[in-house]
Amino acid sequence: MYSTLLTAVENSTLIITINRPDKLNALNKDVIEDLGKILEDVYTNNEIKGVILTGAGEKAFVAGADITEFGGIGAVGGAELAQRGADMVFNKIEKCPKPVVAAVNGFALGGGCELAMACHFRIASENAKFGQPEVNLGLIPGYGGTQRLTQLIGKGKAMELLMTADMIGAAEAKDLGLVNHVYPLAELLVKAKELLAKIQSKAPIAISHIITCVNEAAAAEKNGFINEIKYFGACFATEDMVEGTTAFLEKRKAIFKGK
Ligand code: COA
């Protein structure tokens, strides 16, 4: 039913596995569309009481937005790409009335880290790696990364990670509050299911109100998300973005000129 997702329901928990392991589960248009569709079902299907989001394979959760789709889309196209993702997937996960937990099983970079951060909380395997490497591409995050990373780990550390593009491991992500628990990869899904089972034993209406209220308490300045999309789009009109994305695809280091 979904060309880019594997799905399974166990004890009323829907397990969504993003399934492009040869591309490290990068988020292309099809993945965004499939996630959008399945989230509609999560909202309306009474048999689904919670969601685990994970990635196929042992290497990546999601290694970012699909860089091959960035070519020639320009500032307007860049902003549209970000807005569409926000509307169809990222904000829908954050506002989902049922618990959505990210089981981060490897690289969570760029849009992958942003996808994990849109979930209500995150658990990770020991091999997980987090980062926002957009500046390597002449870009900034466009799926809420500047806002949610700051909410989760605070301004100073968010500034550093966003500006250096450094990757951090699971243990550091836990110290920073980006993930709640770290487990061996083989135990990750078992633990995620246990957590969801515990939450699903509580009153569902109360849980949905918890999600709304905690989201409100943690909400960033509303314009933060709007401005991020605007500046993300603006990066697409720069020579540096063309150089950064071309360099990635040509597997070489980018040389930026500030243009
Ligand atoms: N978009 C498109 N393709 C991607 C991708 C992305 N974000 N991330 C990885 N891939 C592809 C690679 O191009 C490669 O494809 P190929 O086999 O056709 O050449 C495949 O996935 C495997 O990745 P590879 O780079 O060979 O694996 P690695 O182990 O050497 O490196 C990473 C792993 C995660 C460090 C590296 O893939 C990477 O830096 N990815 C991009 C991360 C990023 O910048 N994300 C933010 C995007 S906004």
**pLDDT for 130-187, tens place per residue?**
999 999 999 999 999 999 999 999 999 999 999 999 999 999 999 999 999 999 999 9
Q: For position 187, what pLDDT does the model report? A: 98
- What average pLDDT score do residues 3-26 get? 98
pLDDT band at 219 (very low <50, low <70, confident <90, very high): confident
Q: For position 218, what pLDDT does the model report? A: 86
- What average pLDDT score do residues 78-100 get? 98
> Is 153 domain-assigned?
yes
114 and 228 share one domain: no
Enumerate helices (H) and strands (E) in the chain, giving the number of each. Answer: 11, 10
134 is catalytic: yes
Q: For position 222, what pLDDT does the model report? A: 75
Global pTM reads 0.96
167 and 209 share one domain: no
Cβ–Cβ < 8 Å for 6, 45: no
- What average pLDDT score do residues 90-111 get? 98
181 and 222 share one domain: no
Q: Kindly provide the b/e burial profile for residues 114-132, where b requires at least 16 CB atoms within 10 angstroms of the residue's own CB.
A: bbbbbbbbbbbbebbbbbb
> Is 254 domain-assigned?
no
What's the domain range around 126?
5-200
Q: For position 223, what pLDDT does the model report? A: 85
pLDDT over threshold 90, residue 246: yes
113 and 214 share one domain: no
Backbone angles phi, psi at 249, to 5 degrees: -70, -30
> Is 175 domain-assigned?
yes
- What average pLDDT score do residues 49-74 get? 97
CA-to-CA dists, residue 140 to 89, 103, 178, 231, 256, angstroms: 19, 24, 19, 8, 14
Backbone angles phi, psi at 186, to 5 degrees: -65, -20
34 and 93 share one domain: yes
168 and 192 share one domain: yes
Q: Kindly provide the b/e burial profile for residues 45-61, where b requires at least 16 CB atoms within 10 angstroms of the residue's own CB.
A: eeebbbbbbbbbbeebb
CA of 23 to the centre of ligand 1 (A): 6
pLDDT over threshold 90, residue 1: no
Q: For position 221, what pLDDT does the model report? A: 74
pLDDT over threshold 80, residue 75: yes
> Is 75 domain-assigned?
yes
Ligand 1 atom 30, closest CA = 251
Kindly give, in sequence order, each residue whose CB lies less than 8 Å from that of residue 155, ignoring residues fewer than 6 positions away. Answer: none
User: What ligand 1 atom has the least distance to the C-alpha of 59?
Assistant: 29
DSSP 146-197: HHHHHHHH-HHHHHHHHHH---EEHHHHHHHTS-SEEE-GGGHHHHHHHHHH
DSSP 106-148: SEEETHHHHHHHHSSEEEEETT-EEE-GGGGGT----SSHHHH
% the chain with pLDDT above 90 = 97
Calpha distance 236→146 (Å, rounded): 17
35 and 130 share one domain: yes
167 and 230 share one domain: no
113 and 49 share one domain: yes
Which tokens hold the place of 242? Answer: 């063309």
Ligand 1 atom 11, closest CA = 23
- What average pLDDT score do residues 64-82 get? 96
Q: What is the domain count for the chain? A: 2
> Is 255 domain-assigned?
no
Boundary of a domain, candidates 200, 218, 239: 200
Cβ–Cβ < 8 Å for 101, 190: no
% the chain with pLDDT above 70 = 100
> Is 168 domain-assigned?
yes
> Is 259 domain-assigned?
no
114 is catalytic: yes
pLDDT over threshold 90, residue 220: no
Which residues does a 6 A CB cutoff place in the pocket of ligand 1?
Answer: 23-24, 26, 63-68, 107, 109-111, 133-134, 136-137
39 and 98 share one domain: yes
Residue 9's H or E segment, with its range, is strand 5-10
Radius of gyration of the CA atoms of the chain, in A? 17
Q: Identify which of 137, 120, 76, 134 has the alpha carbon closest to the alpha carbon of residue 145.
A: 134
Q: For position 149, what pLDDT does the model report? A: 98
124 and 186 share one domain: yes
Residue 8's H or E segment, with its range, is strand 5-10
Q: For position 87, what pLDDT does the model report? A: 98
> Is 256 domain-assigned?
no
